[in-house]
């Protein structure tokens, strides 16, 4: 029988496909003893698992090619190391199960590697991955990390960290369902960047949606249909196609129906997101999340050359347009070994964003210089902004660093901390623009971790308190004659985009897939209607009431 589950829809569209689970970390196998008569069989199991994992790694290397192939082949060689296998067999001979023997043999090899100089120590993560794969195979549980599948699938995970998602093949992921995460979690942001439907905050999804089950995910309503009937599938697909067709009619710059311009910009994580942004008609980039460049190797910053190349590819794509680059935002849910303290009791309130960069001025300086080199000679309006600015002192430190690096760009501050919204005029004495990061602004205003599904109600950007802070920043910018955009996920909600416009926000930046929806809705209303909608939303006491009030104003009830 068809069952329907309800989560929070965070990325439009319908995905229908088989469930694949994100493999969780491999648990330590229990130290059970085997009977002496089982030794040969257990050794055979270990050998087979090692060979199968090595063959699989090689095959995936062949498919991937390039740098990935070299890494996967090196991992296959690690799996086949004769000394390691001999150690596994010795451990089985004295009574270990195959999985426990693999686990222990890899542990002693790992200790050797970790102490053998920087290069080999850097291979420890690869070795752990090989061990996890062999142990998972022996235990008959899914492989850890991103599923190994040649067929497209719907990914089910507890939550997705940016480091996991960097490994996803967009051609294979039809959509996501996660147990945790709110509308502003990185799972949601990634789904929108990939343009795939997604539902988050669906508790128990891991257990309720078994591997291999066919499900339909409606990323607009938040519904997940288990084993949908043919009829249901057809109806869902037709409704999604209809919504899409209605949108393709919209094009051109963002504006209200009476011509008040609100540039619609794209949020990108790197050059790979640029084609979708251009295709959606983005008028530039409102948020380039440069930390994705740094997540490949959390032990060190990418080289200058690598940074220059990535920045240039994005800057070149928008001749005459604006590209707002955010300097590295590490820490909290995006930790980097070389920057983020490992022992913080509460990383979201610790040394993250601009705070990390001010502690490591050389990383900021190198990034700003790489940006200056990348932008040289290009006809683009480069703007650079800092994440997690708390006050005027932070804003000044960032502006000074930009000047020292000789950057010909506008310098700005993200407003993600309530203090910066409340004292926006003071922050604006140091910088030329503001950009509201409503994801973190909601997190810090409501003391609600954006990664925790249980508090997603408080992460709702329609909360009137959040709108008050947006209004405070936008009014300050207007008084100072400067601009104030929104680049948090609030900008991607078409109706809320009208409210933000009414609050005085001067540009909206979002994942490319949302641009047509926002453009089409904004074009239906005048600026005066947007202002009335904004006032009505702020006059309520909850996110739901705010939504209803705005719907009533805009539908002329």
Q: How far is the CB of 146 from ligand PEP (least distance, A)?
A: 21
Between 173 and 486, whose beta carbon lies closer to ligand PEP? 486
Q: How far is the CB of 241 from ligand PEP (least distance, A)?
A: 30
The 10 Å CB-count burial string (b at 16+, else e) for 289-307 is bbbbbbbeebeebbeeeeb
Per DSSP, what are the bridge partners of residue 104? Answer: none
186 catalytic per annotation? yes
Q: Find which of Mg ion, ligand PEP, none residue 487 binds, CB within 5 to 8 Å per kind.
A: ligand PEP
Q: What's the DSSP call for residue 297? A: -
Residue partners of 321: CB distance under 8 A and separation at least 6: 283, 284, 285, 380, 381
Window contacting Mg ion (CB under 5 A); options: 104-112, 152-160, 403-411, 416-424: 416-424
**Three-class SS of residue 46?**
helix
Q: How far is the CB of 263 from Mg ion (least distance, A)?
A: 21
Q: Which of 402, 484, 487, 498 is catalytic?
A: 487
CA distances 168 to 190, 191, 232, 334, Å, are 10, 11, 28, 17
Q: How far is the CB of 314 from ligand PEP (least distance, A)?
A: 16
Between 254 and 437, whose beta carbon lies closer to Mg ion? 437
Between 312 and 450, whose beta carbon lies closer to Mg ion? 450
Q: Which of 186, 402, 484, 530 is catalytic?
A: 186
Task: Please list the alpha-helical segments (H only) found in 166-296.
Answer: 186-194, 205-208, 230-248, 274-279, 291-294
DSSP string, 48-101: HHHHHHHHHHHHHHHHH-HHHHHHHHHHHHHHT-HHHHHHHHHHHHTTB-HHHH
Q: Find which of Mg ion, ligand PEP, none residue 132 binds, CB within 5 to 8 Å per kind.
A: none
> For Mg ion, which residue of 437, 453, 461, 504 counts as binding (CB under 5 A)?
437
Q: How far is the CB of 258 from ligand PEP (least distance, A)?
A: 29
Q: Which residue is nearest to Mg ion (CB)?
A: 440
Strands, sheet with 8-11, edge to edge from the N-terminal-most edge strand:
3-6, 223-226, 214-218, 14-21, 153-157, 173-178, 198-200, 8-11
381 catalytic per annotation? no
Q: Find which of Mg ion, ligand PEP, none residue 472 binds, CB within 5 to 8 Å per kind.
A: none
**Three-class SS of residue 508?**
strand
Between 177 and 490, whose beta carbon lies closer to Mg ion? 490
Does 440 help bind Mg ion (rule: CB under 5 A)?
yes
Q: How far is the CB of 413 from ligand PEP (least distance, A)?
A: 13
Between 180 and 416, whose beta carbon lies closer to Mg ion? 416
How close are the terminal C-alpha atoms of the chain, in Å? 41
Between 22 and 193, whose beta carbon lies closer to ligand PEP? 193
Q: What's the DSSP call for residue 417? A: S
Per DSSP, what are the bridge partners of residue 223? Answer: 6, 218
Where does this chain bind ligand PEP (CB under 6 A)? 287, 289, 329, 416, 437-440, 487-488
**277 phi and psi, to 5 degrees?**
-65, -45
Q: Where do contacts with Mg ion occur on this chain (CB under 5 A)?
A: 416, 437, 440
Catalytic annotation, residues: 186, 487
């Amino acid at each position: 029988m068809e069952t329907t589950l309800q989560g929070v829809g965070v990325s439009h569209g319908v995905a229908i496909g088989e469930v694949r689970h994100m493999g969780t970390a491999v648990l330590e196998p229990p130290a059970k003893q085997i009977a002496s008569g089982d030794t040969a069989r257990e050794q055979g199991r270990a050998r087979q698992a090692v060979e199968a994992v090595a063959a699989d790694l090689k095959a995936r290397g062949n498919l991937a090619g390039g740098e990935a192939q070299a890494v996967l082949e090196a991992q296959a060689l690690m799996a086949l190391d004769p000394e390691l296998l001999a150690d596994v067999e010795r451990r089985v001979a004295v009574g270990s199960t195959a999985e426990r023997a693999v686990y222990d043999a890899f542990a002693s090899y790992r200790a050797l590697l970790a102490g053998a100089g920087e290069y080999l120590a850097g291979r420890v993560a690869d070795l752990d991955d090989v061990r996890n794969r062999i142990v998972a195979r022996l235990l008959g549980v899914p492989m850890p990390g991103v599923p190994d599948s040649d067929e497209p699938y719907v990914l089910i995970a507890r939550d997705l960290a940016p480091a996991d998602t960097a490994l996803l093949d967009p051609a294979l992921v039809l959509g996501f369902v996660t147990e945790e995460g709110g509308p502003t979690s990185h799972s949601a942001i990634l789904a929108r960047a990939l343009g795939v439907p997604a539902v988050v905050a669906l508790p128990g999804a891991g257990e309720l949606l078994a591997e291999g089950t066919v499900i339909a995910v409606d990323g607009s309503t938040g519904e997940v249909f288990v084993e949908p009937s043919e009829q249901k599938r057809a109806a869902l697909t037709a409704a999604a196609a209809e919504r899409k067709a209605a949108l393709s009619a919209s094009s051109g710059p963002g504006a209200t129906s009476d011509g008040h311009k609100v540039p619609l910009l794209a949020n990108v994580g790197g050059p790979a997101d640029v084609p979708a942004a251009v295709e959606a008609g983005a008028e530039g980039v409102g948020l380039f999340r440069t930390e994705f460049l740094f997540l490949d190797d959390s032990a060190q910053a990418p080289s200058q050359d690598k940074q220059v190349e990535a920045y240039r590819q994005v800057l070149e794509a928008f001749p005459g347009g604006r590209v707002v680059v955010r300097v590295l935002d590490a820490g909290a849910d995006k930790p980097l070994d070389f920057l983020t303290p490992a022992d913080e009791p509460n990383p979201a309130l610790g040394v993250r964003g601009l705070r990390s960069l001010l502690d490591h001025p050389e990383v900021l300086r190198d990034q700003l210089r790489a940006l200056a080199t990348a932008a040289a000679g290009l006809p683009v309006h480069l703007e650079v902004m800092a994440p997690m600015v708390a006050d005027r002192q932070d804003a000044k430190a960032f502006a000074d660093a930009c000047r020292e690096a000789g950057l010909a760009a506008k310098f700005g501050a993200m407003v993600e901390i309530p203090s910066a919204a409340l004292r926006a005029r003071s922050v604006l004495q140091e910088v030329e623009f503001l950009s509201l990061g409503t994801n973190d602004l909601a997190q810090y205003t409501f003391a609600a971790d954006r990664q925790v599904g249980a508090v997603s109600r408080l992460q709702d950007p329609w909360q009137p308190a959040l709108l008050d802070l947006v209004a405070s920043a936008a009014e300050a910018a207007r008084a100072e004659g400067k601009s104030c955009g929104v680049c948090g996920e609030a900008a991607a909600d078409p109706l809320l985009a009208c409210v933000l416009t009414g609050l005085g926000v001067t540009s909206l930046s979002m994942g490319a897939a949302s641009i047509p929806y926002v453009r089409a809705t904004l074009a239906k209303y005048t600026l005066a209607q947007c202002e009335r909608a904004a006032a009505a939303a702020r006059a309520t006491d909850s996110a739901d009431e705010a939504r209803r009030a705005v719907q009533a104003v805009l539908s002329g009830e």
